[in-house]
Structure 1
Amino acid sequence: MEINELHALFLECSSASTDTRKITKNAMFFALKGDNFNGNVYAKQALQQGAKYAIIDDASYVRSSQTILVKDVLTTLQQLASFHRLYLKTPIIALTGSNGKTTTKELINATLSKKYQTVATKGNLNNHIGVPLTLLLMDKFTEIGIVEMGANHQKEIEFLCSIAKPDYGLITNFGKAHLEGFGGIEGVIKGKSEIYEFLITNNKTIFVNSNDPIQVEKTKQANIFTFGKEANVDVQIGFIEAQPNVKVQYNHLIINTQLIGEYNFTNIAIAIAIANYFKVDDNFIKEAIEAYIPSNNRSQVIQTGTHKIIMDAYNANPTSMRAALLNFEKLNDKIKVAILGDMFELGHEAEKEHQNIVDLASTQLLDKIILIGANFYKTKIVSPKVTTFESFDDFKNNFNLSELEFATLLIKGSRGMALERVLELL
């Protein structure tokens, strides 16, 4: 079946789905395969649960005219999404970066949705499956699409751009994330900049942080819309303070956010600049950003019992870990304890980067530093404030939680460490 024929069938459907646990009536089910599952097995179940069509790539699972056999389900999903994107002609804003992608995407969506019908990436579904599913969420009523793109190796952003074909794009920042896959920080810059290459080649618009010299250098030949703290930009945004929450100035307005950490200033500034570009009223921009509350373990402030918790355990890399620690030290709270988990995907840089974080934390004005994970366990400890545990279970079984009474806690680590489990113990 040709993609245009499949697309005609998709337009009869209510949604696209890859999970029988979340099937909605009249959905188009894509039977993806993985290392530990074969979606073809679930095609019949998907139809029984109300799916209108099931897309499969194993002929032995053909059951009826509702079962559509293709060569490869994943490739078909990606091709259909790209076809749908061109069919709708909806303006697409794409963003990538080492840190802050999801928060920035949500802030952009919050501001633009004050004026437009928007569709944005749900959660962090930002890979070769998530990007197509985001595009397929859009319909004829969608006025702007916001697509988050994640990557941990070269050519991944290039591929995602070939699917989404964005009209606008940006990079939040370049940081020490996924060093193993990218091959060091220069590889990170090269890989993330693939979004610039697509936008420049296709004469599209790039939103550029004028305070980032790498962004400025790499977009010299581009159509750019600039923002930053200086006056010689398209949109000037001033940083006022980050204690207790980030406060910024935009035009005549003071915007009091519910975000912590100076590192969130750039994420906020990006959303303001894009909303300005799309002519959202200034007061609506202020209203949207002030109403945004972080969730999903991203810079969340949680009060539980005698503890105030800064839960930033969704993910971590050396850049974001350093920024979180520097912000944490500035807090005026009486007792401050950092609970840090291993940072993943650092390759041969892992030993050095974990030691760098230990050295930084050891010199800070913190009362206690608790390190959890095999990488932190191997580091050289030079401060009596530091305690290490080889695993979460080691911490759970051997640490006296009463030592954390009445403390403000920073909890940060890579996703695989699942440090939100500390909440359960408290």
Structure 2
Amino acid sequence: MNIQEIHKHFLESSGVSTDTRKIKKDSLFFALKGDNFNGNSFAKEALTKGAKLAIVDEREYATTDQIILVEDILKTLQELAYTHRKHLDIPIVALTGSNGKTTTKELINAVLSKKFKTVATQGNLNNHIGVPLTLLSMSSDTELGIVEMGANHQGEIQSLCEIAQPDYGYITNFGKAHLEGFGGVEGVIKGKSELYLHLIGHKGSLILNLDDPIQQKRLGSTHTYTFGKTEEAELKISYALAEPFAHIKFSETIVESNLIGQYNEVNLAAAAAFGSLFKIEHSAIKEALESYIPSNNRSQLIKNDKQTLIMDAYNANPSSMEAALRNLATTHATYKLAILGDMFELGEAAAAEHQYIADLAEQFHINQIVLVGSNFMKTQNSAICYASTEQFLETGLPDEVQAQLAQATVLIKGSRGMALERILNLLNVK
């Protein structure tokens, strides 16, 4: 069965399922494989639970007319997504970057949904599986798609662009993320710039932050829509942090967001630029940005009497960690506590980058620093250290630190694998 025939079945289905625990009735089940499972073995179960068809890539599992055999299940999913994207023929916005991708995507979606029926990447499903699933979640009612693209190796963004065929693109920044896979910061810049190169080659449009000189060097001859502090920007932005929330101003419109930290100001500005590019009223842009409430441990602000908790433990790399520490240092708090967890995927740079962050935290004169994880344990520091989140949970904070919590501003920042949200009960946060 060719991809056009599969797409015809897809259009007559309720969508795509990849997990038999969450089968949608009349869906197409794609038997994806993982390190510890073979989706082919679940094909019959998927049909029993209501799937219309199951698609497998191992002949021994193609035992009924409802099970379609293909050569490569992942490649077929990606080809189906590409076919569906071309079938819909709607504008696609793509974004990538080292930090702030998911927050910026949510903000752009909030703004553009004021005018269009949008579908955006759910959570951070932004890889070689997540991007196809996002495209396949779009229907004939969808007027505009917003696709987040993540990568940890060169060539991945290019591959995702070939599937999604974006018309508009934005890179949040180039930072010290996934250094192990990209082979250093220059590798990060090259890898993330694959989005721009795709758009240049396909005469797409770039949304460009004029305050970021690295991005400007990567541009060719293509249409851009610019924002920034400079007079040359098509959307001139003023940044004014009103502690603890990020505020911006554009065209006499002031946005008072629910996002903490100065590092979120450019994310707000990018979303405002997309709104302006798509000719959305400034009042609607303001309403969209001010109504967005962060969740999932991203830039969340939790207040408890006199205590302020900055929960930013969804992900971390040296660039985002530095930005979060700088933000904490500028807050006017009686007592500042930074709880920092290990940063992953740094490869040979891990030791130096963890030492840099430990040193930086001390330079900012934060009242108390707590470092969690095996990488931070190897650093030279004067902080309170725990080898793991589990040890932190078992040991707890020293009494003298615990006594300061009622009036503290606390930053929690670490890579997802550290699961630092588990320590909330130690901080008397419910």
TM range (shorter): over 0.9
Is the Cα–Cα contact under 8 Å of residues 242 and 260 in structure 1 kept in the other structure?
A: no
Match of 2:422 in 1: 421
Shift of residue 305, structure 1, vs aligned partner: 7.4
Is the Cα–Cα contact under 8 Å of residues 104 and 271 in structure 1 kept in the other structure?
A: yes
CA deviations over 1:84-122 (Å, ceiling 9, x no partner): 101111110000000000000000000000110000000
Match of 1:399 in 2: 396
CA distance in 2, matches of 1:165, 1:229: 31
For structure 1, which segment, 17-26 or 202-211, has the greater mean C-alpha deviation from structure 2 after superposition? 17-26
Match of 1:235 in 2: 235
CA distance in 2, matches of 1:242, 1:51: 51
The 1:341/1:12 distance shift into structure 2, 3 A limit, reads same
For structure 1, which segment, 120-129 or 12-21, has the greater mean C-alpha deviation from structure 2 after superposition? 12-21
Structural mapping, 1:118-267, within 5 Å = 118-267=118-267
CA distance in 2, matches of 1:289, 1:131: 25
CA distance in 2, matches of 1:230, 1:334: 36
Match of 1:27 in 2: 27
Is the Cα–Cα contact under 8 Å of residues 200 and 220 in structure 2 kept in the other structure?
A: no
Aligned AA (2:326): L
Structural mapping, 1:96-111, within 5 Å = 96-111=96-111
CA distance in 1, matches of 2:128, 2:37: 18
Shift of residue 423, structure 1, vs aligned partner: 1.3
Aligned AA (2:411): L
For structure 1, which segment, 55-64 or 120-129, has the greater mean C-alpha deviation from structure 2 after superposition? 55-64
Match of 1:2 in 2: 2
Match of 1:388 in 2: 385
The 1:399/1:424 distance shift into structure 2, 3 A limit, reads closer
CA distance in 2, matches of 1:393, 1:105: 33
The 1:55/1:306 distance shift into structure 2, 3 A limit, reads farther
Match of 1:85 in 2: 85
Is the Cα–Cα contact under 8 Å of residues 208 and 226 in structure 1 kept in the other structure?
A: yes
Task: Name the SS of the counterpart of 2:294 in structure 1.
Answer: coil
The answer as to 2:346 corresponding to 1:346 is yes
CA distance in 2, matches of 1:400, 1:175: 32
CA distance in 1, matches of 2:242, 2:102: 20
For structure 1, which segment, 357-366 or 290-299, has the greater mean C-alpha deviation from structure 2 after superposition? 357-366
CA distance in 1, matches of 2:247, 2:80: 43
Shift of residue 59, structure 1, vs aligned partner: 2.0
Is the Cα–Cα contact under 8 Å of residues 241 and 261 in structure 2 kept in the other structure?
A: no
For structure 1, which segment, 369-378 or 388-397, has the greater mean C-alpha deviation from structure 2 after superposition? 388-397
TM-score where L is the length of structure 1: 0.97
Shift of residue 216, structure 1, vs aligned partner: 1.2
Task: Name the SS of the counterpart of 2:102 in structure 1.
Answer: helix
For structure 1, which segment, 268-277 or 50-59, has the greater mean C-alpha deviation from structure 2 after superposition? 50-59
CA distance in 1, matches of 2:242, 2:209: 19
CA distance in 1, matches of 2:304, 2:70: 52
Match of 1:281 in 2: 281
Task: Name the SS of the counterpart of 1:315 in structure 2.
Answer: coil
CA deviations over 1:194-231 (Å, ceiling 9, x no partner): 11111111111111100001111111422111111122
**5+ residue gaps, structure 1:** none
Aligned AA (1:65): D
**5+ residue gaps, structure 2:** none
Task: Name the SS of the counterpart of 1:68 in structure 2.
Answer: strand
Shift of residue 307, structure 1, vs aligned partner: 4.0
Shift of residue 64, structure 1, vs aligned partner: 2.5
Task: Name the SS of the counterpart of 2:33 in structure 1.
Answer: coil
Match of 1:409 in 2: 410
Is the Cα–Cα contact under 8 Å of residues 167 and 204 in structure 2 kept in the other structure?
A: yes
**How much identity, in percent, do the aligned residues show?**
57
CA distance in 1, matches of 2:287, 2:365: 35
For structure 1, which segment, 152-161 or 54-63, has the greater mean C-alpha deviation from structure 2 after superposition? 54-63
How many pairs align? 423
CA distance in 1, matches of 2:426, 2:31: 39
Is the Cα–Cα contact under 8 Å of residues 242 and 261 in structure 1 kept in the other structure?
A: no
The 1:64/1:424 distance shift into structure 2, 3 A limit, reads farther
Shift of residue 401, structure 1, vs aligned partner: 5.9
CA distance in 2, matches of 1:389, 1:337: 15
CA deviations over 1:243-288 (Å, ceiling 9, x no partner): 1211111112111000111111111111000111111111110000
CA distance in 1, matches of 2:332, 2:44: 58
CA deviations over 1:346-392 (Å, ceiling 9, x no partner): 111111111111111112231110000111000011x4xx1111112
Aligned AA (1:343): M
The 1:397/1:291 distance shift into structure 2, 3 A limit, reads same
Is the Cα–Cα contact under 8 Å of residues 351 and 375 in structure 2 kept in the other structure?
A: yes
Match of 1:71 in 2: 71
CA distance in 2, matches of 1:91, 1:44: 37
Task: Name the SS of the counterpart of 1:227 in structure 2.
Answer: strand
Is the Cα–Cα contact under 8 Å of residues 397 and 426 in structure 2 kept in the other structure?
A: no
Aligned AA (2:352): K
Match of 1:53 in 2: 53
CA distance in 1, matches of 2:398, 2:61: 53
CA distance in 2, matches of 1:2, 1:286: 47
Is the Cα–Cα contact under 8 Å of residues 340 and 411 in structure 1 kept in the other structure?
A: yes
Shift of residue 398, structure 1, vs aligned partner: 2.3
Aligned AA (1:74): L
Shift of residue 332, structure 1, vs aligned partner: 1.3
CA distance in 2, matches of 1:305, 1:257: 21
